[in-house]
Amino acid sequence: MSMNEDNLVIAMLLAYPLALLYRHLIPLTSPLTKDLLLTFTGLTLYSFCFGVQCFHVLGIVIGCYMFVCKFGVSVVTCVMVFFVSLSHLLYGYLAVSGVNYTITWTLIHCSAILKVIGYVIDLYDSKKECPESFISYLAFVVFPFTSLVGPQFQYDRYKKFRQATEKPDSLRYAMERTALGVIYIAIFYSINGFTSADFLISSTFQSYGLPHKLVFITFWTKWLVTKYCGVWCVAEAAAAITGIGKVEKVTMEDKDREGRDSDKEEILNSASTVSWDGISNIHALKFETSLTIQDELTSFNVQVHQWVKRYVFKRCRVFNNIAISRLLSLLFLYLWHGIYVGFLNLFVVEALGSFCEEVLNKYTSREELVRFVTNWLPEGLRKGMFEGMARGLLVGAQYLLKNMCVGYGLVGFALRSSERCQVFYGSVYYCFHVGMVVLLVMDGFVLRRIVKVKTV
């Protein structure tokens, strides 16, 4: 690992004792003191990990705040903050781009600009004419337990967090997320070293047959993402210790009690109505068992996807076209992640895959496929065990195909450069690209005319 990577790992581990210390200080400190402590800790971790490079981030963070203070909150200032922040991030990607990824100040910058942009747009939505306290804003942006690798959260969540006066009962949840993160990281490092992205463009891999290649990348990319899942779980666990992920839920039973004689505050603070997963970035069970690309996308990098939905997709409604909103959202995700061709390929494949799922759902369903398969059996065998086996085989085939499609796109994420991507995708004949485009074209010009669309 490079020096930045070593420092990043140390900083993530330091977050745990710091979070425990902060948790004990919550009842003893005012909101302003919390802001000062978090700002100092966050800036210290910034400088420890990236040295003077962190001034790239601080310059944008402070500059955008001053710009909004000077010119007020308006559509123009929101647009300016959006494009200036994103442009500086793209400059960073251009300055440090290469075949082999290295951790630089762009890691914290991509996290910080989401908070800055979201903060300014939230001010506009709330019809406020100027920003709130600078130290509170800065503490929110450099929040030490999430500013390095995520997850994201809104300023409103931070405002509630800084007003807390009691220790959060979140240690059990934090331990569970830590354990899950350790499992993911252990899986990654137990296999790491046996193969790498370079193998996918090697002569050995090129000699494999197409089915062998597709099955290999399905399992290889499934292993690849365990690193990200593990890091997010570990980071979320440290943040959860402080209580930032608190979510208050009122059940129907609580509402009945509230309507009678219970105190509302007591109900909201009861253990049965509070969870701590408000900033969870990976819904592990859904992610590992999802049968559709859309379900996988909504369970992975959750907070970033929710941010894009809130601040990009919904803002594009002025175009009155959902396809344009989707396209611009994917374009933002691509630019935010990096300017490699492989990244663009990933989002294109994901988009095409989601569109194809919608097309297939119009014309058929799993139950119809089960009936189609079992109709080939003798009438006496169409129910019971054989029907269950047919359904299980179809579910397994769907799960494999979904992971194969996602893995096919993730190879571009791993290879990054256009030259390396061309070698791999040429060796598999661009099969998923071609197949998905053909299906969408057929839907537009052929299938709609010859197939009666399933109606609900």
DSSP 87-114: HHHHHHHHHH--SS----THHHHHHHHH
DSSP-assigned beta bridge partners for residue 266: none
pLDDT at residue 161 greater than cutoff 60: yes
Over residues 173-183, the mean pLDDT reads 96
Q: Which stretches of 51-170 are DSSP H helices?
A: 54-71, 75-96, 106-125, 134-141, 155-162
Residue 433 is which amino acid? H
Which residues contact residue 299 at a Cβ distance below 8 angstroms, ignoring those fewer than 6 apart? 282, 283, 284, 286, 287, 290
How many other C-beta atoms can be found within 10 angstroms of the C-beta atom of residue 423? Answer: 16
* Other Cβ atoms closer than 10 A to 416: 22
| pLDDT band of 374, cuts 50, 70, 90 | low
pLDDT digits (tens, 9 = 90+) for 287-321: 999 999 999 999 999 999 999 999 999 998 888 88
Is the previous residue joined to 131 through a cis bond, with omega within 30 degrees of 0? no
Query: CB of 122 within 8 A of CB of 154?
Result: yes
In the predicted model, what is the mean pLDDT of residues 222-246?
Answer: 94
Q: Which two tokens stand for residue 183?
A: 């499992």
Q: Which residues pair with residue 275 across a beta bridge?
A: 247
Contacts 24+ apart (CB under 8 A), 191-199: 191/223, 195/220, 197/411, 197/414, 197/415, 197/420
Using an 8 Å Cβ cutoff, are 109 and 56 in contact?
A: yes
Helix (H, G, I), strand (E, B) or coil at 274: strand
As a whole number of angstroms, the distance between CA 242 and CA 395 comes to 41
Residue 248 and residue 273 in contact, taking contact as beta carbons nearer than 8 Å: yes
Distance CA 270, CA 224 (A): 40
pTM for the whole structure:
0.89
CA distance 217 to 220: 5
- Average pLDDT (318-331) is 88
Task: Judge contact between 165 and 23, C-beta under 8 A.
Answer: no
State residue 252's pLDDT score.
46
Q: What is the CA radius of gyration of the chain?
A: 25
Q: Which residue has the higher pLDDT, 142 or 194?
A: 142
The tens digit of pLDDT for each residue in 187-200 reads 999 888 778 899 99
pLDDT value for 373:
63
Residue 286 CB-density burial (10 A; 0-12 exposed, 13-18 middle, 19+ buried) = middle
pLDDT band at 131 (very low <50, low <70, confident <90, very high): confident
For residue 330, how many other CB atoms are within 10 A of its CB?
19
DSSP 453: P
User: Is the alpha carbon torsion for 271, 159, 167, 45 positive or negative?
Assistant: positive
Residue 323: the pLDDT is 83
Q: Please say whether the beta carbons of 111 and 151 come within 8 A.
A: no
Q: What angle do CA 320, 321, 327 make, to 5 degrees?
A: 130
